[in-house]
Amino acid sequence: MSANEQEDELFQSARTAPEGDLRAFEDLVEQNQRRIVADCRQITRDESVAEDLAQEVFVKAYFGMKNFEGRSSFRHWLQVIKVHHCLNHLKKQRGKAAVSIDEEGPQSSEETKALSSSDRNLERLSEQQIIHRILEAMPDNLRVPLVLRDMDELSYEEVAANLKINLSAAKMRIKRAREWFREQYEAQGARAAREAHP
């Protein structure tokens, strides 16, 4: 049985559990918490609220699971709840968050330079930390679509719908974000990894 099938089975147990019995749901939280917190952190670029957002995502999932129609896997359903919740948080926080997500921001060659020149201590960071740092330096209009596509595994259509942009714009941003990421990862990450594990 695959991990996804096991998770779906656990989800069925959580749905059919008597009221107040949270054991199966807690197992689901245990299994998914690290990924959901990482996703929330990358979408909002705010480590301090990532856990709070992730908790609210699980609470929403708990109260929403009775209405779950089973048209997708539990994992995908949870990702969708998380994406909506984090994007709403961004909008609330920035007022006009749509601007930073939807519009082409000032191109961040300065940010790229800053990342490559001033972060010498990246060499000492673990691979995961390097990835976090690269994503944190990426502008919102590239980072959010990339996270939705490659971390949350949403389809291009879902990314476009969630960000309220057209499909070709979503594809273009994801392509550019991947280019950015690979460039930075090769420049910074591989060097650090080589030094850590010669």
Partner 1 sequence: MTQDPEERPIPELADLETEVSPSFVNRVRSKIQRRTTVSQYAYFSWTLPGIVLKEFLGVLIHLFAVADGGKGRSQ
Residues that bind partner 1 (CB under 8 A): 19-20, 22, 25-26, 29-30, 33-35, 37-38, 41-42, 50-51, 54-56, 58-59, 62-63, 127-128, 131-132, 146-147, 149-151, 153, 175, 178-179, 181-182, 185
**DSSP labels, 20-37:** T--HHHHHHHHHHHHHHH
In the complex with partner 1, the residue whose CB is nearer, 40 or 87, is 40
Distances, alpha carbon 66 to alpha carbons 12, 27, 73, 85, 108, in Å: 10, 17, 15, 19, 44
In the complex with partner 1, the residue whose CB is nearer, 13 or 55, is 55
Structure tokens at 33: 């918490």
CB of 58 to partner 1, least distance (A): 5
Residue pair 43/147 in contact (Cβ under 8 Å)? The answer is yes
CB of 105 to partner 1, least distance (A): 20
CB of 166 to partner 1, least distance (A): 18
Residue pair 137/184 in contact (Cβ under 8 Å)? The answer is yes
CB of 96 to partner 1, least distance (A): 27
